[in-house]
Copies of this chain bind each other. A is one copy, B any other.
């Protein structure tokens, strides 16, 4: 029996009614009087010089109100391509017209003269010297040259003795490693712990492989949309479909040089985000520019094709991975080298490469990662950014090792897992975690020990780790004259977080769940709230809600003490009233009466405040086991069973948590088996849901969710962020199940039927 009344219960979402009735207002539902519609003039080439932009014909079209190019960006910050385009679909100009069709027609009338340049789409080609350069100053040393150069620099700085011999030697060695000069590098990160060379030397078995993961799109249902309205006073209002309205505000301010306090961002209901709805470049900034120029509100709504060519999807990558183990299954060393396909701008997920260490005790670890420019659009976050890719490599390789050493893959993992107090390679020591409990839970759920399989059937297991972020937030809780409570805050709800916040406040105030309503403000009204990414909201805003509700409770108790002529200590909140703890004589007073009373006290209306920013997060694990059956004729992978466990700390709303586990697992399944953005030299060739396969309900496996609760000390009521972890293991889970079924190791995703058939043929089947 739970100690709680509202927490831990699967109450319906606060926004359920408005979502199912269609009352929720999305960005596309914003219509302002006199509103214009914006469209982009986009590059027709993946890489080309722009020789001329001729807008004269387009400007003549009736209904066209403005055409803007980079010349209209007073701040000088790059919004449109000017001298060069770097990918197919890159915006070169934008038009605002009275009607979307007119805007599109005008966009077609803008004449761009190009000089087409050779393009590069493959990261391994892009790092070669002969590859076309997208940006200057983008040449970096590979890992081995980097070690040499580090020593070289040190010696060159040391005047105490003569190093010339060693310097010459180092220079010669670097010369030999000339092919380790990488071109088109946008970023790099390097971590190490112990000595991997020693680790591999001590290993009984060293396995090495290269893993290739494709770029995939977040495929949120709602394309990007903005409505910008710039007043004649210069004040900017933007209706934005975004995960982070405060980030949009500062993004617009920074890009266009507008004072922060002149910008108001009103975030509309979101049709999915998954990390892809943070930036201002796609629609928000162009809409503001068009509204500034026309003096009219301007809406820009991307099409699905534009989402594919100019979206900011998850980066693909190539990971070279090497792991050494003892014959008893003790893991000793791992070395990873990752090349992340950043597209045309420096990318985001490269930092996740360190998660190649998993939750295992690697005494020796070396991780090097490079972001690489290619002629694609930039990338952005996608549910646990970078980690599904990394876990695919790491967990696939562990599975190979288990198979080679004939170890049970669950036992093998359990044996090597870190526990509380263990050192984390290249990190601080492990706090209290539920790694083993979570893997054991999913194994128990499928009766792993007694698993059976038929022909072409196999079982795969994998894990993925993640730590929710933490960010700043403020919140207010008011008590109304009718005794109900209202939450006011500014964080976005993608996954049901508002419901969790309402549950927390209801629990603390002893109110029925439906007596707590929640309201979201714009950036002009709500206190600062961190963006809804990194599984941060329930952790951060949940803690904030707790503080705000406790502040409200304090005020209720004080007012009641005043009214009931007693002291605060003798009172408690119970069933939406303040009552004497000892019922002799029993006295109580309703919140509504206290709210009315408060309006005539010096303290005024009952408003509790919560303000919060940082507490340590606790890592969480997701573990999955899939049973599959392969059709050797068609290569089709059928999922017979998919169990997905996750340490959620505490499930504030089990139904919502299960929804996240199912959603993440399913997205991982799709990435593993069907999703990929495909490119040829000209750019993306499958920009739409006809050619870019996403699963339909007919494709989807039934996901058995297993909730594990190992309390996070600083989470609200022990809760951890739950949105991201469940996607992390699935790519590997699926590959490992396929390997177990038909003894083929697919290292390049997605495992499309034709690829499976090819692999079977390669394996002689």
Q: Which chain B residues lie closer than 8 Å to A261 at the CB level?
A: 480, 482, 484, 486, 515, 517
Given A261-B482, A517-B261, answer yes or no on A235-B527 (Cβ-Cβ < 8 Å): no
Question: What are the 6 A-B residue pairs with the smallest beta carbon separation, nearest first?
Answer: A604-B613, A604-B611, A23-B231, A472-B599, A528-B605, A519-B524
- Within 8 Å of chain B (Cβ to Cβ): is A607? yes
- Within 8 Å of chain B (Cβ to Cβ): is A233? yes
- Within 8 Å of chain B (Cβ to Cβ): is A481? yes
Q: Which chain B residues lie closer than 8 Å to A534 at the CB level?
A: none
CB pair A260 B18 closer than 8 Å: no
Q: Which chain B residues lie closer than 8 Å to A488 at the CB level?
A: 521, 524-525
Q: Mark A449-483, 1 if CB is under 8 A from B, else 0.
A: 00000000000000000000001111010101110
- Within 8 Å of chain B (Cβ to Cβ): is A65? no
CB pair B613 A599 closer than 8 Å: yes
Known: A472-B605, A602-B614. 8 other contacts (CB 8 A): A259-B482, A259-B484, A488-B524, A527-B605, A527-B607, A528-B605, A544-B604, A600-B613
Chain B min CB distance to A104 (Å): 21
CB pair B235 A23 closer than 8 Å: yes
- Within 8 Å of chain B (Cβ to Cβ): is A31? yes
C-alpha gap A259/B516 in the complex (Å): 12
CB pair B615 A482 closer than 8 Å: no
Q: Mark A579-614, 1 if CB is under 8 A from B, else 0.
A: 000000000000000000011111111110101111
Cross-interface CB contact of A615 among B486, B602, B605, B609, cutoff 8 Å: B602
- Interchain residue pairs with CB less than 8 A apart (23): A18-B235, A21-B231, A23-B235, A250-B481, A260-B480, A260-B484, A261-B480, A471-B599, A473-B605, A474-B607, A476-B476, A478-B527, A488-B524, A525-B525, A598-B613, A601-B613, A602-B612, A602-B615, A603-B611, A603-B613, A604-B611, A604-B614, A605-B613
Chain A interface residue count, CB cutoff 8 Å, equals 58
Q: Which chain B residues lie closer than 8 Å to A615 at the CB level?
A: 602
- Within 8 Å of chain B (Cβ to Cβ): is A17? yes
C-alpha gap A68/B33 in the complex (Å): 28
Q: Which of A505-558 contact B (CB under 8 A)?
A: 515, 517, 519, 521, 524-528, 530, 544
Q: Which chain B residues lie closer than 8 Å to A603 at the CB level?
A: 611-613
Chain B min CB distance to A291 (Å): 13
- Within 8 Å of chain B (Cβ to Cβ): is A232? yes
- Within 8 Å of chain B (Cβ to Cβ): is A22? yes
Chain B min CB distance to A294 (Å): 15
- Within 8 Å of chain B (Cβ to Cβ): is A447? no
C-alpha gap A589/B605 in the complex (Å): 34
C-alpha gap A22/B233 in the complex (Å): 9
CB pair A23 B611 closer than 8 Å: no
Chain B min CB distance to A326 (Å): 43
Chain B min CB distance to A549 (Å): 15
C-alpha gap A484/B263 in the complex (Å): 13
Q: Which of A675-730 contact B (CB under 8 A)?
A: none
- Within 8 Å of chain B (Cβ to Cβ): is A29? yes
Q: Mark A9-38, 1 if CB is under 8 A from B, else 0.
A: 000000001100111000001011100000
Nearest residue, chain B, Cβ from A547: B604
Q: Which chain B residues lie closer than 8 Å to A524 at the CB level?
A: 486, 488, 517, 519
Cross-interface CB contact of A527 among B22, B31, B476, cutoff 8 Å: B476
Q: Which chain B residues lie closer than 8 Å to A613 at the CB level?
A: 598-605
C-alpha gap A753/B747 in the complex (Å): 99
Chain B min CB distance to A604 (Å): 4
C-alpha gap A261/B591 in the complex (Å): 14
Given A260-B482, A482-B261, A524-B486, answer yes or no on A604-B21 (Cβ-Cβ < 8 Å): no
CB pair A231 B18 closer than 8 Å: yes
Q: Which of A238-263 contact B (CB under 8 A)?
A: 250, 253, 259-261
Chain B min CB distance to A693 (Å): 35
CB pair A609 B612 closer than 8 Å: no
Given A486-B261, A528-B605, answer yes or no on A600-B233 (Cβ-Cβ < 8 Å): no
C-alpha gap A614/B260 in the complex (Å): 35
Cross-interface CB contact of A478 among B231, B250, B528, cutoff 8 Å: B528
Q: Which chain B residues lie closer than 8 Å to A601 at the CB level?
A: 613-614
Chain B min CB distance to A513 (Å): 13
Nearest residue, chain B, Cβ from A232: B21
Given A473-B604, A484-B261, answer yes or no on A525-B526 (Cβ-Cβ < 8 Å): yes
Given A527-B476, A600-B614, answer yes or no on A21-B481 (Cβ-Cβ < 8 Å): no
Cross-interface CB contact of A31 among B33, B250, B264, B612, cutoff 8 Å: B33
C-alpha gap A519/B18 in the complex (Å): 27
Nearest residue, chain B, Cβ from A601: B613
Chain B min CB distance to A257 (Å): 12
Interface centre among A21, A528, A615 (most CB of B within 10 A): A528
Nearest residue, chain B, Cβ from A551: B609
Q: Which chain B residues lie closer than 8 Å to A598 at the CB level?
A: 472, 613
C-alpha gap A32/B231 in the complex (Å): 19
Q: Which chain B residues lie closer than 8 Å to A515 at the CB level?
A: 261
Chain B min CB distance to A215 (Å): 32
Nearest residue, chain B, Cβ from A597: B613
Chain B min CB distance to A235 (Å): 7
C-alpha gap A480/B29 in the complex (Å): 30
CB pair A481 B260 closer than 8 Å: yes
Chain B min CB distance to A131 (Å): 40
Q: Which chain B residues lie closer than 8 Å to A22 at the CB level?
A: 232
CB pair B23 A528 closer than 8 Å: no
Chain B min CB distance to A216 (Å): 32
Q: Which chain B residues lie closer than 8 Å to A235 at the CB level?
A: 18, 23
C-alpha gap A318/B100 in the complex (Å): 64
Cross-interface CB contact of A612 among B21, B525, B604, cutoff 8 Å: B604
CB pair B17 A233 closer than 8 Å: yes
Q: Mark A607-632, 1 if CB is under 8 A from B, else 0.
A: 10101111100000000000000000
Q: Mark A366-380, 1 if CB is under 8 A from B, else 0.
A: 000000000000000
Q: Which chain B residues lie closer than 8 Å to A486 at the CB level?
A: 261, 524
CB pair A605 B474 closer than 8 Å: yes
C-alpha gap A685/B654 in the complex (Å): 68
Q: Which chain B residues lie closer than 8 Å to A528 at the CB level?
A: 478, 599, 604-605, 607
C-alpha gap A18/B236 in the complex (Å): 12
Chain B min CB distance to A32 (Å): 8
Chain B min CB distance to A16 (Å): 9
Chain B min CB distance to A38 (Å): 19
CB pair A611 B605 closer than 8 Å: yes
Q: Which chain B residues lie closer than 8 Å to A232 at the CB level?
A: 21-23
C-alpha gap A611/B599 in the complex (Å): 10
Chain B min CB distance to A416 (Å): 34
Chain B min CB distance to A474 (Å): 5
CB pair B526 A21 closer than 8 Å: no
C-alpha gap A614/B604 in the complex (Å): 7
